[in-house]
Amino acid sequence: MPGTRPKISWSDVASVLVIARFCEPSSELHIAEHFYRTSGLSDLLGIAEDDIYENRLYRALDELVVHKDDVQRYLKERLGELFEIKYDILLYDVTSTYFEGEAEKNPQARRGYSRDSRPDCKQVCIGLVVTREGIPLGYEVFEGNKHDSKTVEAIVERMEAIYGKSERIWIMDRGMVSPDNLRLVGAEGRRYIIGTPKSQLRKLEQHLVDKDWRELHVPSKLFICRDAARRQGVRGKTLPITRRDRGNIYLLPERGTEEEGRGDAQSVCRSH
């Protein structure tokens, strides 16, 4: 039929989305109207420029989200193999994204606490779990008026359903604190590091003050040296620390300061 769009596999359309995300992160509209037309992808993929348009890209996302858990599971295993990523520490936080318009067909779109200073707009909340390296492990979408602390149980159970239970350490900010959440992340071999609200710190203030604390003197300025043999003459120079470094890392007080007179450089850690 004249004017009929040719059939293109969703995997090919997904390839366009992934390549665009790596090369020029932008909206689906920008991909269709600018990126794809100014790249060489039409020749490489064999898909005409006019066959990549915003509605087709949006529909591809609908097709992909059905396979979200499988994609996340595959990426977790593949990235772990490529970069030796460990999943013993998981960091969790919540952000939000808002909509221009009423978003009447999205039941999760609600008005709530706006991180974008747009309380007039409906939004959804997005809970993201990342590794210690910052590699995304999984995400879930929540109603726009859901408090951060109300998302913890769902995200923990979802991650364990996909990846299995393990003695992981969950790290969250104080917005996640509630008695139920603390019991959850402290049970069944889980461990956690969670920020404590100031109101709870006040209850522990006297207990903390009574401890035998030792005051540490913090030098006014420190310089970093990777190699003990290179301590002389490195002050005032910036020496980058890379993953290839295997020697001790030294902190060197500034010349002429009181800290320098108290002793030599101190080895503070070992890079791995």
Q: What is the pLDDT of residues 109-161, one digit of tens each?
A: 999 999 999 999 999 999 999 999 999 999 999 999 999 999 999 999 999 99
Q: Residue 259's pLDDT band (boundaries 50, 70, 90)?
A: very low
DSSP-derived letter for residue 136 is E
Q: Which residues does residue 34 pair with via DSSP β-bridges, in sequence order?
A: none
pLDDT of 170 reads 97
E-strand stretches of 99-159: 123-131, 136-143
The secondary structure element, H or E, covering residue 23 is: helix 10-23
- Between CA 58 and CA 74 the distance in angstroms is 23
Q: Which of 130, 201, 189 is nearest to 159 (CA)?
A: 130
Distance of alpha carbon 17 from alpha carbon 58, whole angstroms: 10
Give the residue range(s) of CATH 3.90.350.10 domains in the chain: 68-199
> Of 268, 185, 168, whose CA–CA distance to 228 is shortest?
268
**Percentage with pLDDT > 70 across the chain:** 77
Q: Does residue 261 register a pLDDT over 80? A: no
Report the distance separating Cα 199 and Cα 208, nearest Å.
Answer: 14
- Residue whose tokens read 């009447």: 104
pLDDT greater than 60 at residue 226: no
- Average of per-residue pLDDT across 242-261: 47
Q: Give the mean pLDDT of the chain.
A: 83
DSSP 110: B
More confident residue, 242 or 17: 17
Assess whether pLDDT exceeds 50 at residue 78.
Answer: yes
The pLDDT of residue 201: 78
Q: Is the dihedral of CA 132, 134, 139, 143 positive or negative?
A: positive
Going by CATH, does the domain composed of 68-199 fall within 3.60.21.10? no
Q: Among 111-120, 177-186, 257-266, where is mean pLDDT lowest? A: 257-266
Contact between 88 and 45 under an 8 Å Cβ cutoff? The reply is: no
For the chain, the first-to-last Cα distance in angstroms comes to 63
* For range 185-213, the mean pLDDT: 84
Residue 250 has pLDDT above 60, yes or no: no
Q: What are phi and psi of 230, to 5 degrees?
A: -110, 20
CA dist 117 and 58 (Å) reads 27
What is the pLDDT at residue 242? Answer: 46
Determine the pLDDT at residue 225.
52
Question: What residues does 110 pair with on adjacent strands?
Answer: 123
Q: What's the DSSP call for residue 197?
A: P
pTM (predicted TM-score): 0.72
Please provide residue 142's backbone torsions phi and psi, each rounded to the nearest 5 degrees: -125, 165
pLDDT of residue 196: 84
Is pLDDT above 70 for 102? yes
Highest mean pLDDT among 45-54, 205-214, 239-248, 262-271: 45-54
pLDDT of residue 235: 47
Angle of helix 10-23 relative to helix 54-65, nearest 10 degrees? Answer: 100
Contact (Cβ atoms closer than 8 angstroms) between residue 230 and residue 207: no
Q: How confident is the model at residue 240 (pLDDT cuts 50, 70, 90)?
A: very low
- In one letter, which amino acid is 228? A
